[in-house]
């Protein structure tokens, strides 16, 4: 099977995908507003907050701060929206950080933090819109200067990164014979002061599949296109058609096989066609345990993913190992990152089956511990070309009557497929490769119903590559978090970090007092 018909149907100028996405969003806008109003009555809510902190930090080495010590003042107003019922569901967390340094030429810095994941039902059981957006600090390079804490004073190898993805789609049935989905997508990534990492993506998908009532045997067909462009790199296009068959012998097991073709110019000056084939299985022996395995042959070689989740009344365990293409500048690579909130939201499922009650319980629990619900449990860095990424992640949490323990381990390997510097040159496979390993552990102990003591340690390393020397980062922190009133919390903490590198090592010590208000 070749791509002539598929390309004639879908090979429109990328601008049309953006216009179509924008038009769909505009048409669905009034419905989204009405859905939000309806959802606000049934479980949604806006929660403003304010955090004011004062730190004294002292360091040596290349950290951009003062070796004699300096005071750092931070004012962070924020707003959180959450909805678990109605036509609009999801979470939006935003905070603006205004930071003042007492001994720097550029004394004032303003940064943004955003984590949004929203699903809207614009037309009941027919038209939907998915929106994902995040803004935060990211390491520019895995081989450059690293930092263990979000409010670390160095800025030589970090920048603010914004990533937005919007995807309107429709679903329906064809006379009980099949279900269909038509989806458009558009997104962008922008890195402050790092234009080479800026990228835009456009996508389109049409799929048919057997209805859920089909029984043990199922099938699926799909055709999709993705356009990717980097500001300082080259534009690439990937077209793909595929089919699948599945067998579900019982409710716990599902087996499937896939086959198809894809045509892309990633890794080549001209487009080439590749055969795809693979298979996998899903196993859910109980509501508390899930196992998923999948492997496939793609244009860049072998692609695979393996995941395991298991929870008990007091513990949760998650492991994943995946290798796939990352075709954008998102610092988290492909797939969705796991946050501290995600980890405990899974664990609290036994005690709080209702998702609205569970969300409130998890947020109250993390607030008592003085932990940020949006804390990411992985590591990463920016990319400026289509790449292959392997990522392994292990996370575990245990909550006792007074003690809570969390452990996160991660490893990433990145291999660039294209030459972003010269669009007319052949791809330079193997340049820009990087590896990272990280381990973080924390312990929280409730001293009283209002006070909690915490301790955390982190270790991260980037082994030596072909062009860069190795580096390692160690950090440790201690804190005391206490509830002053129903809306106010006080946190006092001390931290130490030590970064070893052949080019820009540093050591840093800091004392911080922070007052958090929720209205």
Q: What is the CATH number of the domain that holds 376?
A: 2.40.170
Up-side HSE of residue 407: CA atoms within 13 Å toward CB? 9
Q: Which residues of 325-351 are buried (b: 16+ CB within 10 A; e: fewer)?
A: bbbbbbbbbbbebbbbbbbbbbbbeee
Ramachandran category for residue 116: left, alpha or beta (phi over 0 → left; psi -120 to 50 → alpha): beta
Residue 479 burial by CB count (10 A; 0-12/13-18/19+): exposed, middle or buried?
A: buried
Q: Enumerate residues 6+ apart whose C-beta is below 8 A from 4.
A: none
Half-sphere exposure of 23 (CA within 13 A, CB side): 7
Beta strands in 86-152 (DSSP E): 88-101, 108-123, 127-139
350: containing domain = 4-518
Q: If you search the block for the tokens 């216009």, which residue do you land on?
A: 19
Q: Alpha carbon of 28 to those of 88, 127, 377, 439: distances in Å?
A: 12, 9, 34, 44
Q: Are 368 and 446 in contact (CB under 8 A)?
A: yes
Other C-beta atoms lying within 10 Å of the C-beta of residue 275: 12
Are the C-beta atoms of 89 and 81 separated by less than 8 Å?
no
Number of domains making up the chain: 1
- Cβ distance 493 to 475 under 8 Å? no
Question: How many angstroms separate the CA atoms of 236 and 47, rounded?
Answer: 42
Q: For the purposes of burial, counting CB atoms within 10 Å of the CB of 63, is it exposed (0-12), middle (13-18) or buried (19 or more)?
A: buried
Cα distance between residue 394 and residue 173, in whole Å:
39
Q: How far apart are the first and last CA of the chain?
A: 60
pTM of the predicted model over 0.85 = no
What pLDDT, on a 0 to 100 scale, did the predictor assign at position 505? 84
Q: Could you please report the per-residue DSSP string of 243-291?
A: EEEEEEEETTEEEEEEEEEEEE-TTSSS-EEEEEEEEEEEEEEETTEEE
What does each of the 519 residues of the chain score in pLDDT, given as a tens digit? 444 443 444 334 334 333 333 433 443 344 434 434 444 334 457 889 999 999 998 877 645 445 668 899 999 999 999 887 789 998 898 999 999 988 877 778 898 988 888 999 999 999 999 998 988 877 777 667 777 766 555 566 778 888 899 999 999 999 888 999 999 999 998 888 888 788 899 999 999 999 877 788 999 999 999 998 888 777 889 999 999 999 999 999 999 999 999 999 887 888 999 999 999 999 999 989 999 999 999 999 999 999 999 999 889 899 999 999 876 544 444 445 566 777 777 767 766 777 777 777 787 777 766 666 766 655 556 777 778 888 898 989 898 889 989 898 988 888 877 765 554 554 443 445 677 888 989 899 999 988 999 998 989 888 755 445 678 889 999 999 999 988 899 999 999 999 888 777 888 899 999 999 987
- Contact status, residue 475 vs residue 496, Cβ threshold 8 Å: yes
SS (H, E, C) 166-178: EEEEEEEEECCCE
As to burial, measured by CB atoms within 10 angstroms (0-12 exposed, 13-18 middle, 19+ buried), residue 110 is exposed
DSSP 378: S
Contact status, residue 11 vs residue 225, Cβ threshold 8 Å: yes
Q: How far apart are CA 244 and CA 276, in angstroms?
A: 11
* pLDDT of the residue at 425: 52
- Residues contacting residue 27 through CB under 8 Å, at least 6 positions apart: none
pLDDT value of residue 297: 96
Residue 43's SS3 state is coil
């Amino acid at each position: 099977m070749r791509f002539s018909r598929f390309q004639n149907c879908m090979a429109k100028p990328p601008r049309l995908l953006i216009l179509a996405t924008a038009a769909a969003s505009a048409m669905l806008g009034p419905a989204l507003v009405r859905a939000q109003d309806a959802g606000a009555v049934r479980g949604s809510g806006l929660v403003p907050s304010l955090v004011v902190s004062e730190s004294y930090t002292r360091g040596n080495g290349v950290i951009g701060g003062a070796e004699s010590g300096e005071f750092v003042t931070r004012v962070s107003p924020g707003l959180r929206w959450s909805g678990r019922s109605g036509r609009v569901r999801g979470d939006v967390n935003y905070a603006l950080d205004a930071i003042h340094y007492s001994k720097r030429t550029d004394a004032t810095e303003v940064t943004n933090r955003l984590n949004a994941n929203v699903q809207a039902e614009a037309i009941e059981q027919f038209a939907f819109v998915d929106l994902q957006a995040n803004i935060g600090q990211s390491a520019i390079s895995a081989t450059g200067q690293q930092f263990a804490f979000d409010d670390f004073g160095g800025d030589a190898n970090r920048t603010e990164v914004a990533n937005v993805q919007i995807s309107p789609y429709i679903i329906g049935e064809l006379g009980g014979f099949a279900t269909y989905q038509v989806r458009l997508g558009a997104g962008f990534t922008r890195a402050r002061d790092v234009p080479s990492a800026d990228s835009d993506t456009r996508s389109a998908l049409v799929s048919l599949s057997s209805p859920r009532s089909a029984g043990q045997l199922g099938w699926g067909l799909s055709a999709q296109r993705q356009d990717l462009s980097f500001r300082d790199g080259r534009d690439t296009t990937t077209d793909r058609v595929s089919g699948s068959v599945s067998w579900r012998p019982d409710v716990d097991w599902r087996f499937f096989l896939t086959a198809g073709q894809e045509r892309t110019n990633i890794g080549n000056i001209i487009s080439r066609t590749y055969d795809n084939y693979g298979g996998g299985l899903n196993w859910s022996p109980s509501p508390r345990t899930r196992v998923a395995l999948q492997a496939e042959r793609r244009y860049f070689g072998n692609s695979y993913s393996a995941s395991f989740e298991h929870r008990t009344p007091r513990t949760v365990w998650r492991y994943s190992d995946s290798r796939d293409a990352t075709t954008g500048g998102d610092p988290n690579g492909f797939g969705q990152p796991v946050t501290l909130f995600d980890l405990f939201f899974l664990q609290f499922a036994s005690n709080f089956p209702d998702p609205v009650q569970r969300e409130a319980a998890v947020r109250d629990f993390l607030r008592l511990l003085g932990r940020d619900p949006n804390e990411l449990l992985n590591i990463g860095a920016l990319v400026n070309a289509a790449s292959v990424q392997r990522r392994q992640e292990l996370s575990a949490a245990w909550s006792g009557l007074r003690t809570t323990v969390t452990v996160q381990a991660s490893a990433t390997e990145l291999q660039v497929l294209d030459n972003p510097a010269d669009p007319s040159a052949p791809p330079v496979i193997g340049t820009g490769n990087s590896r990272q390993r990280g381990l973080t552990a924390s312990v929280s102990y409730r001293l009283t119903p209002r006070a909690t003591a915490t301790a955390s340690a982190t270790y991260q390393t980037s082994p030596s590559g072909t062009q860069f020397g190795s580096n390692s980062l160690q950090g440790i922190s201690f804190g005391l978090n206490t509830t002053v009133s129903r809306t106010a919390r006080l946190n006092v903490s001390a931290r130490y970090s030590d970064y070893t590198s052949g080019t820009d090592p540093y050591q840093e010590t800091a004392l911080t007092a922070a007052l958090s208000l929720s209205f």
